Amino acid sequence: MIDSHCHLDHEPLFSDLDNIIDRSKKIGIKKLLTICTTFESFLRIKKIINKYDMIYGTYGIHPHEAKNDKLTSDLIIKEINENKKIIAIGETGLDFYYNHSDKKDQIDSLEEHINASISLNIPLIIHSRNAEKETIEVFENYKNKNLKILMHCFTGSKDFAKKLFEYNAYFSASGIITFKNSTELQNTFSIIPLNRLLIETDSPYLSPVPNRGKKNEPSFIKFTAEKLANIKKVKKEHLIETTSLNFNTLFK
């Protein structure tokens, strides 16, 4: 199993990493991808990936932080070239639910991340909330650039998913698919091809049922895997094997 999106530099995970990693290994996790959100976040991530062989990282600025941490494509390229275990760019994207950063700052930031991704030929970790139309509008500007897109913690509509198929996007399922009120999202995942699916925890957030309400951690990914296997009508072992293969294909 592979947790394709977690925030190991966030508490309460960061101060308990040895135990977190031990519990992850016990349930069969082979790799963890810890995701950058701020400049400060990246400093902790570099320490984590240097200490633990099974952990890889990303570099990027969360859309909530786009007005505060201004990132250029040149800086992204420089940092990734200097850190071989940084295998993707993000998380970046658009989030107009909270409006912590204004629309222009978010779009400008997303485009810097996209340009770096094109230059380096590595995947983008995309966060999109209340911004389906705008996300597609930005992607349209790069239609012929063979973007490598992973829609993290995907909660979008079926129509949004179908438009993203045109970009050969991958979609990551989080613990949200286990929630009782997520029937519509489960139906959306039912139409996404199995060879385009990954699983994630987004820990320490979004704990799946039956641990909803607790701080999430990578070992809880087994519950998301079980639910996604049920949605896709395949055996859990096949789901795990396929999502792991998809991860390794996308991130090379």
d(CA 228, CA 222): 10
pLDDT score of 251: 96
Q: Which residues contact 134 (CB under 8 A, 6 or more apart)?
A: 94, 96, 103, 107
- Type and span of the H or E element at 94: strand 86-95
pLDDT score of 101: 79
Q: Are 96 and 131 in contact (CB under 8 A)?
A: yes
d(CA 186, CA 197): 13
Q: Are 117 and 124 in contact (CB under 8 A)?
A: yes
12: cis peptide before it, omega within 30°?
Answer: yes
d(CA 112, CA 199): 26
Where do we find the tokens 């613990």?
Answer: 175
Q: Give the residue extent of every domain in the chain.
A: 2-251
Tens place of pLDDT per residue across the chain (252 aa): 999 999 999 999 999 999 999 999 999 999 999 999 999 999 999 999 999 999 999 999 999 998 888 999 999 999 999 999 999 999 999 999 887 778 999 999 999 999 999 999 999 999 999 999 999 999 999 999 999 999 999 999 999 999 999 999 999 999 999 999 999 999 999 999 999 999 999 999 999 999 999 999 999 999 999 999 999 999 999 999 999 999 999 998
d(CA 131, CA 145): 22
pLDDT score of 189: 98
- Type and span of the H or E element at 33: strand 31-34
Phi then psi for residue 130, to 5 deg, are 55, 35
pLDDT score of 228: 98
Structure tokens at 31: 């790799």
pLDDT score of 99: 73
Nearest to 33 by CA among 4, 62, 12: 4
Question: 2-251 has which CATH code?
Answer: 3.20.20.140
pLDDT score of 107: 95
